[in-house]
Amino acid sequence: MEVRQQGNRIILQYGVNVLWVEPWGEDGIRVRMTAEPVMDGRDFALTEPVPETNAFIESERVDMTDPWYRGEEWKRYHMEGTVYRLVNGKITAEVGEEGWITFLNARGEVLLKEYWRNRDRVCRYALPLGIPARELKPIPGTGDYSLTALFEADERERIYGMGQYQVEAWNKKGMVLSLEHRNSQASIPFYVSSLGYGFLWNNPAVGEVVFGTNCTKWSIPSTRKMDYYITAGDTPAEILKHYSEVTGRTPMMPEYGMGFWQCKLRYRTQEEVLEVAREHKRRGLPMDVIVVDFFHWPLQGDWKFDSECFPDPEKMIRELKEMGIETVISIWPTVDERSENFGPMADRGYLMRTDRGNALSGSGWMGPNVFYDATNPGAQEYVWNVVKKNYYEKGAHIFWLDEAEPEIGPYEFDNWRYYAGPARQVTNLYPLEYARGFYNGLKAEGREDIMSLVRCAWAGSQKFGTLTWSGDISSTWRAFKEQLQAGISMGLSGIPWWTCDLGGFIGGDPTDEGFRELLARWFAWGCFLPVFRLHGERSPWFTKEVVMRENGRQELSSGAPNELWSFGERNYEIMSRYLFIREKLRPYIREVMRRASNTGEPVIRPLFFDFPGDPACWREERTYMFGPDVLVSPVTEPNVTAWRVYLPEGSRWEESYTGKLYDGGQVVEAEAPLAVIPVFVREGCGLDIYGELLKKS
């Protein structure tokens, strides 16, 4: 083992393995390892310029025979010989002669350390199991490696973030998580630890992480290097600030993003779109956005309006704008082999390809198709130019980037290949690059109000104006609970703009009283999300006709209704009131969005984000903060009229429905009739959420 210093970088060389430990932004450290002659230069999520810091390196000789190093100090060192310390503000990396790494905070407390069970010439105390903390194993006959990285577990630790998984528990400690995207799953490998650090696994390869009780294990079947970033902070807010500095911050949310978005399985014709918008206005209901969803095109990959169903899209978009409504256009990255763009894109290598078999499986839905390669800059430019001609120049400036995982069928990552490399090594970059192509195209046209609704994300996606939603979830109480966790976790993963299909996507009969209760609760919660958006396929499916077109393709009809007036008078009264509550909250939401853009803080976040000193807030998993002053506890169970809510220490809280004041640090029984979601505001913040709309007299 050779340990040497190069500027503020510690370099370890053992055999063909080279490891770099270096400062990375404020209070941050980046660690990279390769078994190749030259370090892989790809930065993946760590793309932002990092400022110079006052980091420095010092060394110390550790002699374990010295009584000072016995007892508790042994737990820290497990080694003797020379210890190198890289100090960067509030975080320190200690590196021993054998290459073991321990990360400490400014108080000298261990944040994270590598898991070694490998006896060596320096450490007398390691177990002879032959388990190194990090290992790049060559894959025979290739230039690739499998990677394993192990870290010691701490029984006190709670782990939050990691993107979007369909689970109920917020704390990921004890979970096994696959590092891959799927419909309703966005793997964003960044987490916030209750011990006071944030950790980014800076690798877009398919793999797995196990947050075990004996160790944390990151494993990747195929990659070129190990790369991770760790930052320390006194609060979760400080950790997210550091993380967003090195991965990028979301832009300021456009004004249209803060209002109500109307959406359904699809509006099949131009007239259907306009009739819904006109009816909203006739009823005096606010609406900022309406969505023209999938299969409004002739064929997948044409990226243009079907002239039969949308004979004058410019007129449609113009009329919507006159009503104060923006148009969002659905984009799918699939290209049908019959599309006018298939040949030119195939000829230029702009489509995803397979190492074996026929690539024309794609999503396999509604025709033979293949995904375009969003990691190819040329493909990004080609698609944008088509979209610009057929949509942007007709007045549509907001896009819904669907199928962004991408949802290839089946998920055979070992078979797919991108411009950026084999899918097993880079596939998690797809949604980020998909969003980048549209962001760059809109920027080039001079747009500043950029927001793209995207069905997946990876670390850094936020800087491209990405609004992520949670995919095709079911219309069930269980899914409702899971979306609360998903939204909170996405915020802690650096994605401030998030939403879900209110009421769920799969199922939900508008005439069923059970679904109507679920929708009333879910819709009220949507009022207190970053984006307030109603969507769903709505059942029963057999009411949807299948339309056969002249060109031989099939398409779905418009399906069951999904407008506010579609669910009975009781629901209409409840849901319409929340549209006006949302409007009333606009000034507050605008300021919350400004803070997210300036500091990287989540819009919706766990109680511990604002109250890290209250231990109960770290265990609370059904109540959250919407910005710094509004506490929300959605009712996620049926047949409820009262709801237990924990109020954090350090503030007094006003129950918005009743006007009652409570001291923090206690659980209260909030009134929760069907029309009311329990909401509390900090005393003195000046917010009157319900006012005369719902407030109990």
For residue 68, pLDDT over 60 is answered with no
Concatenating the DSSP letter of every residue in 642-693 gives: EEEEEE-TTSEEEETTT--EEESSEEEEEE--TT---EEEETTS---SSHHH
Amino acid at 287: M
The mean pLDDT value for 549-576 works out to 84
Of the listed 405, 407, 482, 620, which one is catalytic? 405
In the residue annotation, 414 being an active-site residue is answered as no
The predicted structure's pLDDT at residue 80: 60
The mean pLDDT value for 400-423 works out to 94
Q: Are the beta carbons of 648 and 617 closer than 8 angstroms?
A: yes
CA gap 41, 13 in Å, rounded:
18
* The two domains 255-597 and 604-694 share their CATH topology (first three levels equal): no
**Residue 277 contacts by C-beta under 8 Å, 6 or more apart in sequence?**
262, 287, 290, 319, 320, 323, 325
Percent of the chain whose pLDDT exceeds 70: 93
pLDDT in tens, 102-111: 999 999 999 9
The predicted structure's pLDDT at residue 119: 59
Of the listed 402, 403, 482, 555, which one is catalytic? 402
Question: What is the CA 112 to chain-centroid distance, rounded?
Answer: 24
Kindly indicate the confidence band of residue 414, based on its pLDDT and cuts at 50, 70 and 90: very high
Amino acid at 330: S
The mean pLDDT value for 420-432 works out to 98
For residue 454, pLDDT over 80 is answered with yes
The mean pLDDT value for 582-588 works out to 98
Of the listed 381, 472, 509, 512, which one is catalytic? 472
| CATH number for the segment(s) 2-247 | 2.60.40.1760
Q: Are the beta carbons of 235 and 610 closer than 8 angstroms?
A: no
pLDDT in tens, 178-203: 999 999 999 999 999 999 999 999 99
Q: At what angle do helices 477-492 and 513-526 cross, to 10 degrees?
A: 20
Global confidence as pTM: 0.96
In the residue annotation, 80 being an active-site residue is answered as no
Kindly indicate the confidence band of residue 549, based on its pLDDT and cuts at 50, 70 and 90: low
State the chain's mean pLDDT as an integer.
93
pLDDT in tens, 636-656: 999 999 999 999 999 999 999
The mean pLDDT value for 546-556 works out to 60
CA gap 600, 594 in Å, rounded:
10
For residue 264, pLDDT over 60 is answered with yes
The predicted structure's pLDDT at residue 357: 81
In the residue annotation, 355 being an active-site residue is answered as no
The mean pLDDT value for 672-688 works out to 97
Fold of 604-694: Immunoglobulin-like (2.60.40)
Kindly indicate the confidence band of residue 410, based on its pLDDT and cuts at 50, 70 and 90: confident
Concatenating the DSSP letter of every residue in 156-217 gives: T--EEEEEE-S-S-S--TT-EEEES-BTTBEEEEEEEETTTEEEEE---SSEEEEE-SSEEE
Q: Per-domain residue ranges for the chain?
A: 2-247, 255-597, 604-694
pLDDT in tens, 339-351: 999 999 999 999 9
The predicted structure's pLDDT at residue 554: 63
pLDDT in tens, 621-631: 999 999 999 99
The mean pLDDT value for 565-590 works out to 98
Maximum C-alpha span of the chain:
87
pLDDT in tens, 129-163: 888 999 999 999 999 999 999 999 999 999 999 99
pLDDT in tens, 292-351: 999 999 999 999 999 999 999 999 999 999 999 999 999 999 999 999 999 999 999 999
Length of the chain (residues): 697
CA gap 199, 230 in Å, rounded:
5
Instruction: Tell me which of 357 and 305 has the higher pLDDT.
Output: 305
The predicted structure's pLDDT at residue 70: 45
Phi then psi dihedrals of residue 379, to 5 deg? -65, -40
Residue 350's SS3 state is: coil
Q: What is the CATH architecture assignment of 255-597?
A: Alpha-Beta Barrel (3.20)
Percent of the chain whose pLDDT exceeds 90: 85
